[in-house]
Amino acid sequence: MLKFIKGHMESMEGIEIYPIISLLIFFSFFVILFWWVFTAKKDYIKTVSNLPLDNQNDDIL
């Protein structure tokens, strides 16, 4: 089955660009994520990290 897929993929023109595009999307996503984490305000991080522990806004039915 893998030989069939590999042979089919090799017959397509311009298919070698897709792995490069996927790698660039993956790499840029994590670079942007790391940049956001390091530049986020400490007050915002503290507020968001305490949300699961905040019982004042719980609506119990």
For 15-36, how does the pLDDT look when each residue is reduced to its tens digit (9 = 90+)? 888 889 999 999 999 999 999 9
The band of 58, judged by pLDDT with boundaries at 50, 70 and 90, is low
For the chain, the maximum distance between any two Cα atoms, rounded to a whole number of angstroms, is: 61
Q: Is a pLDDT exceeding 60 seen at residue 60?
A: no
* Residue among 43, 24, 20, 42 at smallest CA distance from 32: 24
Q: Are 15 and 9 in contact (CB under 8 A)?
A: yes
Q: What is the predicted pLDDT for the residue at 25?
A: 98
Q: Can you tell me the distance from the alpha carbon of 3 to that of 9, in angstroms, rounded to the nearest whole number? A: 10
Q: How far apart are CA 20 and CA 51, in angstroms?
A: 39
Q: Residue written as tokens 């023109």?
A: 13
Q: What's the pLDDT band for 47 if we cut at 50, 70, 90?
A: confident
